[in-house]
């Protein structure tokens, strides 16, 4: 395993909401970044999101160096082979076990044998993802929160075969990005989503069953329990498809108390995915 001081290039798989956020914070911490997605269009959108986010932070004087210098450290690509340069890879592709297992098998082929392979999965088993490789001891969960540049927390998830030194490295790397970590065993949903997903689904059910108007549900939970976002606005922020994928995994693993809300499934079927599609429970510009 490479030590923290041996990490120069961070590979990121997926240029979506989480992938481009992870690429941005790694570049901000001084790392060179190679961010890979499957289509040029997705790579470009991810790079544009990084530009926008860095400009906003720059305008608030929240960066230690110019946005342009940070942005120059991020390369976008659609070529898997470009990840060969990485000293550490963090996967943030779609929340689908088969896709992630295929990505990890590919990563094993393309990266050096001592490179840690991390996944940003919200709910899927680290152990099952790792078993797609012959290097399960190098695989660890590095679960960033959304939006990555703003949220301080990172959940380190330890699989059945994860080497304790790899878990320790994951904590140290996240701390080097100015994050604060906690650790979870590889159990469905880990700490955060095991508790968060039923809360969001119950908020959606409460709305669907007419308990209150959607704004009152969000306002009630914010003012009544001191959380920064209510369940419906948080679902829009996370992405309704991501919430549904996570809820379905938890339902499969933990049973009926994790049943996804009917209205969540209907919104996803309609293509209302939240902020990223312009419409979820609320409308966005």
Which amino acids are annotated as binding site, given as ranges?
Answer: 14-19, 37, 95, 100, 122, 146, 276
Q: Which stretch binds ligand NAD (CB under 6 A): 30-38, 60-68, 221-229, 259-267?
A: 30-38
- Asked if 42 touches ligand NAD (CB under 6 A), the answer is yes
Q: Which stretch binds ligand NAD (CB under 6 A): 15-23, 107-115, 126-134, 219-227?
A: 15-23
State whether residue 202 is helix, strand or coil.
Answer: helix
Task: Give the residue, chosen from 36, 179, 194, 267, that forms a contact with ligand NAD under the rule CB under 6 A.
Answer: 36
Q: Terminal CA-to-CA distance of the chain, rounded, Å?
A: 45
Q: Encode burial over 128-165: b for 16+ CB neighbours within 10 A, e otherwise.
A: ebbbbbebbbbbbbbbbbbebbeeeebbbbbbebbbee
Is 193 considered catalytic here? yes
Closest listed residue to residue 178, CA positions, set 56, 26, 68, 6 = 26
Closest listed residue to residue 235, CA positions, set 221, 225, 253 = 221
Is 155 considered catalytic here? yes
Task: Give the residue, chosen from 85, 99, 110, 263, that forms a contact with ligand NAD under the rule CB under 6 A.
Answer: 99
Q: Which stretch binds ligand NAD (CB under 6 A): 114-122, 133-141, 165-173, 251-259?
A: 114-122
Is 251 considered catalytic here? no
**CA–CA gap between residue 260 and residue 199 (Å, rounded):** 11
Is 143 considered catalytic here? yes
CB 221 within 8 A of CB 203: yes
Q: Number of residues in contact with ligand NAD, rule: CB under 6 A?
A: 25
Strand partners, 237: none
Q: Which residue has the tokens 């940003």?
A: 120
Task: Give the residue, chosen from 11, 14, 141, 260, that forms a contact with ligand NAD under the rule CB under 6 A.
Answer: 14
Q: Give the chain's length.
A: 285
Q: Could you say which of 122, 125, 201, 247 is catalytic?
A: 122
CB 200 within 8 A of CB 233: no
Q: Given the complex with ligand NAD, which of 206 and 242 has the nearer CB atom?
A: 242
- Asked if 200 touches ligand NAD (CB under 6 A), the answer is no
Q: Which residue is nearest to ligand NAD (CB)?
A: 16
Smallest distance from ligand NAD to CB 81, Å? 13
Task: Give the residue, chosen from 94, 150, 165, 227, that forms a contact with ligand NAD under the rule CB under 6 A.
Answer: 94
Residues with catalytic roles: 122, 143, 155, 193
């Amino acid at each position: 395993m490479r030590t923290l001081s041996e990490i120069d290039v961070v590979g990121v798989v997926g240029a979506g909401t989480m992938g481009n956020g992870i690429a941005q914070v790694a570049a901000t911490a001084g790392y060179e970044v190679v961010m890979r997605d499957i289509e040029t269009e997705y790579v470009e959108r991810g790079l544009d999101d990084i530009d926008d986010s860095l400009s906003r932070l720059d305008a608030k004087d929240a960066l230690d160096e110019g946005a342009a210098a940070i942005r120059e450290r991020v390369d976008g690509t659609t070529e898997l082979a470009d990840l060969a340069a990485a000293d550490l890879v963090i996967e943030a592709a779609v929340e689908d076990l088969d896709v992630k297992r295929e990505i990890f098998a590919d990563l094993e082929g393309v990266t050096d044998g001592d490179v840690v392979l991390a996944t940003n999965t919200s709910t899927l088993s680290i152990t099952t993802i790792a078993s797609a490789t012959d290097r399960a001891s190098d695989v660890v969960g590095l679960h960033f929160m959304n939006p990555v540049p703003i949220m301080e927390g990172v959940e380190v998830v330890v699989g059945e075969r994860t080497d304790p030194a790899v878990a320790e490295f994951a904590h140290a790397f996240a701390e080097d990005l100015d994050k604060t970590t906690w650790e979870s065993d590889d159990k469905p949903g880990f700490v955060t989503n095991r508790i968060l997903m039923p809360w969001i689904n119950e908020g959606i059910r409460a709305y669907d069953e007419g308990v209150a108007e959607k704004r009152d549900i969000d306002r009630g939970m914010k003012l009544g329990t001191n959380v920064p976002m209510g369940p419906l606005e948080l679902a829009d922020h996370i992405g309704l498809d991501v919430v549904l994928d996570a809820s379905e995994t938890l339902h499969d693993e933990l049973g009926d108390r994790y049943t996804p809300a009917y209205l969540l499934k209907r919104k996803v079927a309609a293509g209302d995915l939240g902020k990223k599609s312009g419409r979820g429970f609320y409308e966005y510009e």
